[in-house]
Structure 1
């Protein structure tokens, strides 16, 4: 099978790290296609960033339809564009935050998230609430580091995650830790050994969910909510999205 892993930001170095994480867990017969959109922010750390990343995500999903992709992973812990992406394909589309919280709920009764800058805490609180997981999430702990800081200074990033992860276990009584950024994948195994609880990287979780759903032969329901968008004209910078929609079955 072929799984397209979309890093919604345009930092290719981060995409390479995401690709490594995805390939490290994928089966030998699974092809991983990791990409960044041709448009969008270099990192996603606000509502503004997130919303402006979505057209690029949708563009990559539509390309994937022509590339013979069997499933998609949106590799950002805000799951930007997840619902819209499900409207433009019948293939499974998995968000890494969604995959993380669902996997954690099977491994632990309560868990905390460790993520990036404090400004995104409310965004992530709203997100996990939309997945029905507010009662399971004990805390969303933020580090002082931005998304790209984990690329620039891995040692500093590891130390920040270690500190907040330890507080989550000792102060929150968290029974599992979720890493709230796709750029944190390389730290998961080391943190799990140090903290003594499951530490979940969303990219890995999403790839395994995608493989399982494809194996089961399931596709996105097109009955109502996720049916293909109605064809209509788009103008201005979104003109090409009208052309994309003209290809919808």
Structure 2
């Protein structure tokens, strides 16, 4: 099985961390290919960033289809480009926010999301609602840390995140915390040990969900919503994304 794990931003130190987290949980025989797009934002901290990151995600899924990938994980907690990527892919495509929320719903009655900049709260709120998890999400806590602070040596970002996770358990009465950024993927074991409760990394959960779906012989349904894109010409700088007629 070959799974492509896509970090939608272009910061490769984060991509390397994400790849390590994915390989740590992958089953024997599962090949993890961790990538960043060739173009896009260095971090994703708003709707503008997400719009451009989605193009890079779609580009990597298109490449993955030619490379024989069996499934994909989108390793950003905003799940940018998820629906469009599913239109392109034969196999399953899982966003880490969706994966983390579903995992949390199976092991506890309520969860708290702990994430980064306050301005991205709206994205988290939208996804909680879109994934039908409003009755499970106890709170969304933003540390107001820039995403790239997770990559800085000597940063106190880890300590701030751990403390916010502790507050989530004490004040929100949550059963688990969701690590609301792909850049936190290396913190799952550490935070779980520190707080004495599950800290769920969506990258790890996403990999296991893709493995399960592929093992069951399940790919993306092409019947309605995620049917392949309509044959169409794109113009200007997007001409490379024109959709050719599919062979019968």
TM over 0.5: yes
In structure 1, runs of 5+ residues without a counterpart are none
Whether the 8 Å CA contact 1:4–1:32 is kept in 2: the answer is yes
User: 2-side partners of 1:149 and 1:236: how far apart?
Assistant: 36
> Which residue is 1:81 aligned to?
81
1:86-120 CA-to-partner distances (Å, cap 9, x unmatched) read 00112100000000000000001001000001100
Change in CA separation of 1:248 and 1:91 when aligned onto 2, cut-off 3 Å: farther
Whether the 8 Å CA contact 2:149–2:155 is kept in 1: the answer is no
User: 2-side partners of 1:93 and 1:13: how far apart?
Assistant: 23
Root-mean-square deviation (CA, aligned residues, Å) is 1.1
SS in 2 for 1:150: helix
User: 2-side partners of 1:96 and 1:144: how far apart?
Assistant: 20
Whether the 8 Å CA contact 1:41–1:53 is kept in 2: the answer is yes
Deviation of the 1:174 alpha carbon: 1.0
> Which residue is 1:56 aligned to?
56
SS in 2 for 1:99: helix
Instruction: List aligned pairs for 1:119-138, cutoff 5 A.
Output: 119-138=119-138
> Which residue is 1:194 aligned to?
194
Change in CA separation of 1:15 and 1:167 when aligned onto 2, cut-off 3 Å: same
Whether the 8 Å CA contact 1:233–1:239 is kept in 2: the answer is yes
> Which residue is 2:21 aligned to?
21
User: 1-side partners of 2:228 and 2:190: how far apart?
Assistant: 42
Whether the 8 Å CA contact 2:231–2:245 is kept in 1: the answer is no
Change in CA separation of 1:154 and 1:25 when aligned onto 2, cut-off 3 Å: farther
1:30-55 CA-to-partner distances (Å, cap 9, x unmatched) read 00001001111000000000011111
> Which residue is 1:219 aligned to?
219
Q: Which runs of 4+ in 1 moved over 3 A?
A: none
Deviation of the 1:246 alpha carbon: 2.0
SS in 2 for 1:3: strand
